[in-house]
Chains A and B, each alone.
Chain A
Amino acid sequence: MNTDNAKIRELSRRAYKYGFVSDLPSDALPRGLDEQVIRLISAKKSEPQWLLDWRLKAFRHWLTMREPTWQNVHYAPIDYQDIVYYSAPKPKTPGPKSLDEVDPELRTMFAKLGISLAEQERLTGVAVDAVVDSVSVATTFKRKLAEVGVIFCSFAEAVQQHPELVRRYLGSVVPYSDNFFATLNSAVFSDGSFCYVPKGVRCPMELSTYFRINAADTGQFERTLIVAEEGAYVSYLEGCTAPMRDNNQLHAAVVELIALDDAQIKYATVQNWYPGDAEGRGGIYNFVTKRGKCAGARSKISWTQVETGSAITWKYPGVILQGDDSVGEFYSVALTANYQQADTGTKMIHIGRNTRSTILSKGISAGHGQNTYRGLVKVQKAASGARNHSQCDSLLLGSQCGAHTFPYVEVKNPSARVEHEASTSKIGDEQLFYCRQRGIREEDAVPMIVNGFCREVFKELPMEFAVEAQKLLGVSLEGCVG
C-alpha cells in the first residue's frame, strides 16, 4: 500500500562500522581446555589452593553437563576446545597517539553518543600517558571510596587482598554447578570486578567499571561479585554505550549480588557488543548468568538492563528473595535488529514472607531480529503475602521480525498475588504520518517513538546513563540512513 514498510526495513538495518581489530597477544595458552589449563590459569594468577579446588570442581562438573537447548535462539555448535582460555593482560600494541589519529567515523559515533573526550581516548586506546585526566579521576575516586571503607577493585586483586570475603561469598548465589555457562565460567573465569560496601555505608558515588583501573581486558569469562552489608547502598554501572569490540565470540560472564538486612543494590547494564553484520555473520554470543540474593530482611536488588548489542543474548538476571519483606526489580530494554537474537528475562524466586517483585520488560525487534522474553516467577511455600507484577511489552518494526513471550509462574503459597500483562504493538503508519505532518522526518520519528516506548525503563537508569541509552537507541536505529 505504501513504501513505509520498505523504509522501516531500511531504517532498521543498523551499520556497525567498526570491524574487529586483530591483535591476539602472543602470551596465550594454546587452544583447548583440560585440568592442566585450569591449573595454569590459577597459577598465573597466584591463586590460593581453595580457589583452584573450586575451579577444578566446577570443571569436573562441567564435563558432565550439556549445553542447554531450550532457549529460542539458533547458532552453529560452539567448539569449546577451539577457545583460548587464558591470555595474559599485557600492554597493547601501540595505540593512536591522539584522537586525531582515530577513525573519523568512530569519532562521529562518539559525538552522537555524547561521550566525553577523556572516555573517547580510553575507548580508542589512546596511549595511557595521554589520558592523564581519566586516570587521575579514577585515582581520586578510589581514595574517596577508601575513606568510607568501600572496596572496589578487580576480582583478581580481591582474591589477593581480601581472600576471606571472596571465599565467603563466591558461588553463594550462583553455585559452581548452576548451569552450563556459569559452570564453565567458574572453571576458567579470567577477571572481573569486586565490590564490598560495609555495614551502614551509602556508597558516595555510582560505581562504574570505567573508574576501575585495569578494567580493560577482563576478557570473555568475566566474574563480578558485589556485597552490600547491613544497611549499605550501592549503585553499579556496567558497560557503556560505546560500541565494544572483542576478538572472542563466546562470552559467558557471571555476576553475583548479595544484599544483607536493609541493604540495597542497584545494578545497571548497557550492553552494546558487536552484533554481527547485516547478514548475521559474526557477532558476540553473550551467555550471561546474573543473580542477586536478597539475603537479609527488607533488602532490595534492582536490575536494569539495556541490551542493544551481541548476535545472541541469553541472560536472565534474577533475584532470590530470601529475606522477609525483600524486594526484587527487573527493568529491561532489549533491541534486536538485523539477525540478532535475544532470549532474555528474569527469575524472581520468592522465599521470604511479604516479598515483592516487579518485572518490566520492553522488547524491540527490527529487521529479522528475534526477541524473546522468558521469565520465571516462583513463589515458595513459606512466602506468604508474596506479590509480583510483570509487564512485558513488545514493539515490532517491520514485518520480518519476531517477538515471543514465555512467562512461567509457579506458586506454592495460596496467599500470593501474581499479575502478568503483555502487549505487542507495531510502529503504525498512522503514528509515522502524524509525526511527518508535524515536520519530523521518519528517521527522527522512529527513534523518538522507540524511546518513548522504553521510557519507563530508562527512568530507572541513573540520569546520565539514561541520556546515553536514549542516544544509543537512536543511533542504533539510525543505521546507515541519511
Chain B
Amino acid sequence: MLEIEDLHASVEGHEILRGISLRIEAGEVHAIMGPNGSGKSTLAQVLAGNPGYQVSGVVRYQGEDLLAMPAEARAVAGIFLAFQYPVEIPGVGNLYFLRTALNAVRKQRGLEELDAMDFLALAKERMQLVEMDPELMNRALNEGFSGGEKKRNEIFQMAILQPSLAILDETDSGLDIDALRSVAAGVNALRGADRALLLITHYQRLLDYIVPDYVHVMANGRIVQSGDKALAVELERHGYAHFEAPPAPGEGS
C-alpha cells in the first residue's frame, strides 16, 4: 500500500528526515516510536502533504507517486492524518466542517454527496464508536475543546472519513486512561484487511490497546531499528538514550 524509499525532508534548509525507508501493506499496523525531535511528526506531515517542507525521495501509495499529489488529493485517495495539534477554526461548526470534508472527498470519488439529514444519521452512529459527547457536535471546530476532546474529535473524523491509510500522530498524548481506551476502541473498530495504520507515539501505553504488527524506532531523522511488539516493551524499559548518539561527522546527506 505504501512504499517509502530514502525519504528526505527539510524545512528552511534544516534537514529533519534523513533517508527514511518503510513498507506498509494493507491490513498492517505499524508503530513509530522515538524521542522528541527525532522526526516522527515530520514524517506524518510529509506523508499528508504539508507544503511547508522540501521533500525528496520516492513515496508510492497504491502505486501512485504520492509526493506529486497535493494534500487534498491525498485525502481523496484515502490518507488521513490525525493531527498532534488539531487546529481550531472559530465559527465553523464541527459537523458542518466534517460534512464539507466528507462531501468533498465523495465528490472527487464520483459518489453522491450526503445531505444534512443522511450525514447527521451517519455522524450519530459513528459518534458512539469513540464515545464522543454529542454536545461537541454543535460547537465550532475544536474551539474551546480540551486537549482530549480534540484528539477524540480527530478519531471521530477518521471514523466518518474511513481512510485506507490512517496516520495517528501522538493521538494518545493528553488522553486520560478512559479516553485512551475509548479512542483505541474507535481505532480498532476501523482496522481491516484493506486498511493500514501508522501510529506515532512516545509511549508503549497506546500499543497495549492498539497492538501493532511492527514497531520502528526513529532517531535523528532515520529509522534505526525495527521489530515487533516486543521492541516497544523493551523501549519502555530502557528508554531511547542509546539511540540518541549524535550523528558522526560527515554523516547525513
Interface, chain A (partner B; CB < 8 A) = 1-4, 428-431, 433-442, 444, 448-449, 451-456
Contacts and interface: CB of A to CB of B under 8 A. Distances in A.
A16 B87 CA distance: 33
A448 B100 contact: yes
B87 A434 contact: yes
Contacts of B108: 439
B72 A434 contact: no
Interface stretch (B15-23, B43-51, B218-226): B43-51
Interface residues of B, number: 34
What is the predominant secondary structure among interface residues of chain A facing chain B? helix
A93 B246 CA distance: 81
Contact of A452 (B11, B105, B140): B140
B91 A451 contact: yes
B158 to A, nearest CB: 10
Contacts of B175: none
B12 A1 contact: yes
B137 interface: no
Contacts of B97: 438, 448
B52 interface: yes
Contacts of B100: 440, 444, 448
Contact of A439 (B87, B92, B105): B105
9 contacts: A428-B87, A437-B72, A437-B83, A438-B157, A439-B76, A441-B72, A451-B91, A453-B91, A455-B140
B122 interface: no
A440 B75 CA distance: 9
A1 B105 CA distance: 28
B122 to A, nearest CB: 16
A449 B93 CA distance: 10
A456 B70 contact: no
B216 to A, nearest CB: 23
Contacts of B155: none
Contacts of A3: 51
A449 B90 CA distance: 8
A60 to B, nearest CB: 49
Contacts of A1: 11-12, 52
A451 B49 CA distance: 25
A258 B97 CA distance: 42
Interface of B: 11-12, 48-52, 70-72, 74-76, 80-81, 83, 86-87, 89-92, 97-98, 100-102, 104-105, 108, 140-141, 157, 161
Contacts of A449: 89, 92
Contacts of A436: 49, 70-72, 75
A91 B80 CA distance: 60
Contacts of B101: 435, 438-440
A433 B71 contact: yes
Nearest to B88: A431
Contacts of B70: 436
B50 A452 contact: no
Given A436-B72, A439-B104, A441-B72, A455 B91 contact: yes
Contacts of A430: 87
Contacts of B12: 1
Contacts of B105: 438-439
Contact of B92 (A2, A4, A429, A451): A451
A434 B141 CA distance: 11
Contacts of A437: 48-49, 71-72, 74-75, 80-81, 83
B92 A440 contact: no
A451 B89 CA distance: 10
A133 B57 CA distance: 64
Residue among A431, A433, A437, A454 having the largest count of chain B Cβ atoms under 10 Å: A437
A184 to B, nearest CB: 39
Contact of A431 (B80, B89, B140): B89
A441 B87 CA distance: 17
Contacts of B11: 1
A291 B108 CA distance: 50
A434 B86 contact: yes
